[in-house]
Structure 1
């Protein structure tokens, strides 16, 4: 009986203790409604044209380099200065043929790796044509006419500890990475509010050997990617 009474008493004590424990948690939703919006534009109507390339000038077995085009500029214009970033996603991701793209970066080095290559479409026979890369001239990114540091995050863009200064101006081919700028004098990942930011872009491309492509008719390169803004 004594032991049983102790057990019941212990149970009652546990129940009373539990009744006083915190058994709820608050959800807080935050944000700011801003009086303004931003618009991205690309020079040349967003078209990078590699022109006509005769099949007879291409290697049958080796990767063919189409070179780079550095005339493209992304301009983001806002009604008022605000912190924001952008992402890019490859609309032809299923057509990427991973190749070494020569001189794809602004420093003249090569591009390798699927995460930094975008698809160029497929031939009529369903063969992947090749790939292109997108790199920002990070030394000449401007925020309201002043040089700014290009940075990126693969995490929460509102968390400044997640931002990293870009090493080579590389742009990933999926929308998981956000790009933005911080002041040249800053080093803590604080996104710089700006009214106008400009991003010089280099696009370089490479295609497979003609034996692999197995084409006899004119074939268009069909790369397509979408840039979207991220308000921070």
Structure 2
């Protein structure tokens, strides 16, 4: 459930495989005062600064390296909370090979993110995104993740967030993959940026990189 105070789940089941004469309707939910919020350093901006075209390759992709942004999630009470990420610039993803943490030369659209178009509608490039240095209430923890179609108790340690909001990431004690209730969680978002060769870009004027994602908190 996404940022709701009262959540209900309705399940309908029959008493036999042969559609008997009775059925049971159940209403489930949780009332809670807990609420969480996310705070991103530097206003949520990862800035690669001014990039001189003359310093870039004209006949090969240009890897501009990694940057890091600290994020803090704060809850009013210990809460099992996760988050999903959606690439708001997915249509501009050039799907150029890029290293995402220890994963080399990734091109899959669900694990890379767009950074906008040139004036001539050329896809500028893309970046990879991953998490590191997670803590919960001052203690180092695992970053864990799962796809939306996985079983509720199936989580993977060190999971790379998907760019299509089809996955969610949470936190677990070291040696565990079970979501942990947290009051304060901190972690770094890391990016690795690659852009096209300058011949393909064909840029004559200043062009802004325009990457953007939306992070949504999800209560477990």
TM-score normalised by structure 2 residue count = 0.85
The answer as to whether partners of 2:161 and 2:168 remain within 8 angstroms in 1 is no
Question: Match of 1:34?
Answer: 32
Q: In the TM superposition, what are the counterparts of 1:154-169 in structure 2 within 5 Å?
A: 154-155=147-148, 159-160=152-153, 162-166=154-158, 169=159
1:160-202: CA deviation from partner (whole Å, max 9, x where unpaired): 1x21222xx522111010100111243xx43110100111121
- Report the equivalent of 2:49: 51
79 and 216 in structure 1: CA distance in 2 versus 1, 3 angstrom threshold: same
Asked whether 1:190 is paired with 2:182, we answer no
Alignment pair present for 1:83 and 2:85 = no
> Structure 2: where are the runs of 5+ without partners?
1-17
Gaps of 5+ in 1: 1-19
Aligned to 2:90: 93
Q: Give the structure 1 partner of residue 167 of structure 2.
A: 177
1:215 aligns with 2:214: no
Aligned alpha-carbon RMSD (Å): 2.0
| Other-structure match for 2:8 | none
Flag the structure with higher helix content: 1
How many angstroms does 1:21 deviate by? 6.5
Query: Normalized against structure 1, the TM-score is what?
Result: 0.81
**Correspondence for 2:216:** 228
Report which of the two structures shows the higher radius of gyration computed on alpha carbons.
1
Distance 1:158 1:146, change over 3 A: farther
Provide the secondary structure at the position in 1 that maps to 2:28: coil
Summarize the Cα distance change of 1:76–1:158 in structure 2 as closer, same or farther, 3 Å threshold. farther
Asked whether the equivalents of residues 157 and 178 of structure 1 are also in contact (C-alpha less than 8 Å), the reply is no
